[in-house]
Amino acid sequence: MSFVFDASKPIAIGSDHAGFEYKEAIKKWLVHKGYQVKDFGTPSLDSVDYPDYAHPTAASVASGESTFGILICGSANGVAMTANKHQSIRAALCWQTDVAALTRQHNDANIICIPARFVALALAEQMIEVFMETAFEGGRHAGRVGKISCS
């Protein structure tokens, strides 16, 4: 696998209770592949508020502490909306590998958001691999991405 992000930095990961089991499995899978992972929680299946975990995950990516992020919740909408409140974050809800590729190629996404209730774990892992391997195309897309920020 070719890694287009900075492999010297950890991958940030966070979830709510609906994404906890996927988060734990994905974390083990990534560590097994030799990646560093920084887990921002949740630490259990107990019901929690997704912003409490999406914000620190996004902040880690926005600050440059982590190379990119993975957020997981039931639909992935809540974590995506929360992460996208951070100025330099482009969090993308993905449900297919083609979508994961396009969010990198055209949108320079830096957080992948996975809907645990709607995709199988194997597909989630495939999407993460595609996300990690796909470079931003730049060109005409760079201008568009530059218009995303409100500041």
CA–CA dist 7, 19 (Å, integer):
25
- The pair of structure tokens assigned to 141 is 């897309």
User: Hey, what domains does the chain have and what are their CATH numbers?
Assistant: 11-144 (3.40.1400.10)
Beta bridge partners of 111: 69, 91
Does the annotation mark 141 as catalytic? no
Choosing from 17, 86, 106, 141, which is the catalytic residue?
A: 106
pLDDT in tens, 55-97: 999 999 999 999 999 999 999 999 999 999 999 999 999 999 9
Place of tokens 């991958």: 11
pTM: 0.96
Dihedral sign for Cα 82, 84, 85, 88, please: positive
Does the annotation mark 94 as catalytic? no
Choosing from 17, 32, 55, 73, which is the catalytic residue?
A: 73
